[in-house]
């Protein structure tokens, strides 16, 4: 199986040893507390789950600026997006040990224990410079920019030990999986070559066929459909609905033992190319050999070019920095001429009217009115799940 990023073995920050876990939990109750924001909590979950291997905790200012500028830490580790704990709290001292509390679970339980190695101020100018590098824009209407620039100016860095996986395990018991668990299941299934598919949306026919194309062309044994389970922007479809859609599609249209439906606990950054590279890093950590990167991967609005998330791997990722490779996907749509889903670039004789293409707005309107999109666009079983959802919220 492919090695994790930056180390020979995966080193998740979750405390699996029972005695150590109990001792930390008891200690945490007497420690000073910091209520995390959702972004820092999501980073803790990803560190705990092994997805951010080989990082042991939150980055300091030097690493944050270096990653933003050069896609590597000050020590030279390739990394595409800073992993930070930014806060507005100013009373925390370097050298202290603190309990990190979860903002997303009732009662704000302890999520992790942190050894605070440094407490640094990141200036507003530095926050803007980092945001501009990560997101390629400082437009406050960009959801990632709005979130990042509002987190605070105190940067806490140091290693953490994680005690739970926030709400993800309880809310998504059949779907949330750590990188450790996915690696173990890949081994149990006997898969030797694995393709990962990232999604924050339900999967329509084009997504389904794209996974099938990648599996066939790469000679892969299996596909890990890996969905984001954390916070999205307003208007995106909730994770339980996406989960139901994807499971329905896999159950009806893929052979047994060819697809794993899983999810991870992270908030969407909408960082386009940079987030695509981060997706590759943590898919390598979970054991995937390839990541499908399609049109406007991890994008939002019109902030990124349609294939910027592919070209960044050519232009910014040094040779050998990652073992995982990407499968480059074009727009996919149902061809009326050929009677199947194709990548548009592979049908040069087609005119636009030869494809069945529906805008997201049009699809939402149809579903809200109880009208199923054509079966060439969406499987009827999947459309039924979506129609029920849209009608439940009033279209």
Enumerate the active-site residues.
200-201
Residue 212: is it exposed, middle or buried by C-beta count within 10 angstroms (0-12/13-18/19+)?
Answer: middle
Q: Which residues contact 237 (CB under 8 A, 6 or more apart)?
A: 201, 202, 386, 389
Residue 199 in 3-state DSSP? strand
Q: Find the DSSP H helices in the chain.
A: 18-28, 38-48, 61-70, 124-135, 143-148, 168-171, 179-189, 205-218, 239-253, 273-285, 308-315, 360-368, 380-392
Between the CA of residue 265 and those of 41, 67, 82, 230, 309, what are the distances in Å?
A: 10, 22, 17, 5, 22
Six-digit token string for 118: 């440094």
Six-digit token string for 46: 């990803």
**266, HSE (Cβ side, Cα atoms, 13 Å):** 27
**Residue with token string 């300091």:** 60
Count of H helices and E strands in the chain?
13, 15
Cα–Cα nearest to 206, from 373, 5, 21, 24: 373
Distance CA 69, CA 66 (A): 5
Q: How are beta strands 97-101 and 110-115 bridged, if at all?
A: antiparallel
Helix H or strand E encompassing 177: none
**Residue with token string 């979970």:** 286
**Residue with token string 């998740």:** 12
Length, in residues, of the chain = 395
């Amino acid at each position: 199986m492919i090695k994790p990023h930056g180390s020979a073995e995966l080193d998740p920050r979750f405390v699996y040893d029972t005695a150590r876990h109990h001792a930390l939990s008891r200690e945490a109750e007497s420690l000073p507390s910091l209520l995390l924001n959702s972004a820092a909590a999501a980073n803790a979950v990803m560190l705990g789950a092994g997805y951010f291997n080989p990082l042991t905790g939150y980055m300091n200012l030097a690493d944050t600026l270096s990653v933003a500028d050069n896609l590597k830490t000050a020590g030279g580790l390739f990394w595409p997006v800073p992993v930070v704990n930014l806060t507005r709290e100013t009373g925390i001292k370097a050298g202290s040990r603190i309990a990190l509390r979860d903002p997303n679970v009732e009662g704000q339980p302890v999520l992790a224990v942190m050894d605070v190695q440094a407490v640094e101020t990141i200036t507003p100018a530095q926050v803007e410079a980092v945001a501009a590098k990560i997101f390629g824009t400082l437009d406050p209407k960009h959801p990632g920019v709005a979130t990042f620039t509002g987190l605070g100016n105190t940067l806490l860095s140091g290693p953490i030990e994680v005690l739970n996986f926030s709400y993800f395990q309880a809310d998504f018991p059949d779907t949330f999986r750590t990188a450790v668990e996915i690696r173990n299941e890949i081994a149990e299934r006997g898969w030797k070559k694995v393709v990962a598919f990232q999604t924050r949306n339900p999967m329509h026919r084009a997504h389904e066929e794209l996974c099938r194309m990648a599996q066939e062309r790469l000679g892969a044994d299996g596909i890990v459909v890996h969905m984001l389970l954390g916070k999205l922007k307003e208007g995106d479809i909730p994770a339980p609905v996406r989960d139901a859609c994807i499971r329905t599609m896999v159950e009806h249209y893929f052979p047994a033992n060819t697809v794993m439906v899983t999810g991870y606990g992270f908030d969407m950054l909408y960082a386009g190319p940079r987030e695509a590279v981060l997706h590759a890093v943590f898919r390598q950590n979970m054991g995937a050999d390839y990541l499908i990167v399609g049109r406007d991967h991890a994008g939002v609005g019109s902030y990124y070019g349609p294939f910027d998330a592919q070209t960044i791997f050519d232009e910014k990722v040094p040779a050998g920095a990652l073992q995982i490779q990407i499968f480059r996907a074009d727009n996919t749509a149902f061809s009326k001429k050929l009677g199947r889903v194709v990548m548009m670039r592979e049908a040069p004789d087609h005119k636009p009217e030869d494809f069945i293409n529906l805008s997201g707005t049009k699809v939402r309107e149809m579903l809200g009115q109880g009208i199923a999109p054509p079966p060439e666009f969406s499987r009827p079983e999947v459309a039924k799940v979506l129609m029920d959802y849209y009608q439940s919220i009033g279209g």
